Structure 1
Amino acid sequence: MDYARMRAVADELAAHAPEDVWATEISGDEIIMMMSPANLHELIVYRLAKHLDRQLEQSTPGLIAHGGADIEDPESGIKRRPDVMVFPESALESGEAVHPRDVTAVVEVVSKSNPENDYEGKMRDYPTMGIPHYLIIDPRNGTGLVLSAPHTTPEGRRYSTRRDFQFGETVQLGVYDIETAEFPTY
């Protein structure tokens, strides 16, 4: 099915979804219905975005760390809603989904109910979209990954660098420092 048709189906499903469906995502031939995140998940998202925004205001005015916006690449047939992404505030003015060329980093906080989405689907989709940096925060076990430098492989575009970390460490997301000590575990 072509992407435009998939998008129409996803929009129709979202219009009739139960109240606890928070967003829809599209990856290949799959429509993913996202449930409302848990409070601890949202606490990490809030703390991380606030932490990044302080750095962005100092180093890169015009960029924001924000969650709740879609990122969409019709050419690759992918629509995602990262927990946090770094992009120009002006990208929100169009009223459309943010284009991946405007995004410098995405962050996902792993949910209890669907960790495969962050570790498999999004680990495949974000480099395909050309997102330079992908941070995975996993409160299930207090760990995470920083992935960067997308490059072409026989399996498609994949990240070429990977750094594992434990909560409590300071990690680099591009040029930004991420303090992980304040993240709770589930």
Structure 2
Amino acid sequence: MTAVPLPPAHLLTVAEYATLGEDETGRSELMEGNLVMSPSPSPDHNMAALRIALQLMPQLPQDLEVITDVDVDLELAPPDQPGFSRRPDVIVVRRTARPRVRAEGGLIRASEILVVTEIVSPGSRRTDNVVKRAEYADAGIPHYWIVDLQEPASLLACHLTEKFGYLDSEVVGGTFTSTAPFAVNLDLNDLR
């Protein structure tokens, strides 16, 4: 029998959430101070995230790096208020982000992210396409890629505008090619 942790007695700040650790929270995210539990990803989901990361790594400029499955402070609330933290499948960040976390503690910040990628799961379609889309736009993350593994695998690239949140490009299958925020080609057929 697996022990189930008790929920916190109060709404959490991002700093409080960051100190909990996975043993206490399982796989969770923080929404307005509330722990939201989610099941572990499927093997196909994890493999797709790894393959995206492996394809991105040699294509990134020297000042950027790719990180998978890490908690992110969306910076949507003051530090002393109930906060928001998501755990995207893949992020592209400035290389200064990890050393800052090592030195200061805390989480990767939304302001350090250039691209956030979510891989749609059967139970996350609305969350990825509506809820996280709005949160990532509010957090000011310039690019949001939504990957759907249903045959044929596809990618919807969204880029942040000043007035309207994310603007969508066309859904792409086969090979995703872009020049913003850096030159990239992703073989979507390799994700399954």
**TM-score (norm. length: structure 2):** 0.76
Closer, same or farther in 2 for the Cα pair 1:102/1:37, shift >3 Å?
same
Q: Is the CA contact 2:63–2:95 (under 8 Å) kept in the aligned structure 1?
A: yes
Aligned to 2:6: none
Aligned to 1:143: 154
The equivalent position to 1:112 in structure 2, one of 118, 122, 131, is: 122
Q: Which runs of 5+ in 1 are unaligned?
A: none
The structure with the greater share of residues assigned to strand is: 1
Q: How does 1:106-185 map to 2 (within 5 A)?
A: 106-141=116-151, 142-153=153-164, 158-166=165-173, 168-172=174-178, 174-175=181-182, 176-184=184-192
Distance 2:17 2:107 in 1: 17
Alignment pair present for 1:33 and 2:37: yes
Greater RCO, 1 or 2 (C-alpha within 8 Å, sep 6+): 2
Aligned length: 169
Q: Which runs of 5+ in 2 are unaligned?
A: 1-9, 78-82
Amino acid across the alignment from 1:162 = S
Closer, same or farther in 2 for the Cα pair 1:170/1:26, shift >3 Å?
same
Alignment pair present for 1:53 and 2:57: yes
Distance 2:21 2:94 in 1: 30
SS in 2 for 1:69: coil
Alignment pair present for 1:92 and 2:103: no
Alignment pair present for 1:101 and 2:111: yes
> Alpha-carbon deviation of 1:30?
5.1
> Alpha-carbon deviation of 1:144?
2.6
Q: Is the CA contact 2:76–2:138 (under 8 Å) kept in the aligned structure 1?
A: no
Percentage of pairs with the same residue: 23
**TM-score (norm. length: structure 1):** 0.78
SS in 2 for 1:109: strand
Amino acid across the alignment from 2:69 = G
Distance 1:119 1:50 in 2: 24
Q: Is the CA contact 1:87–1:104 (under 8 Å) kept in the aligned structure 2?
A: yes
> Alpha-carbon deviation of 1:29?
6.3
C-alpha RMSD over aligned residues: 2.5
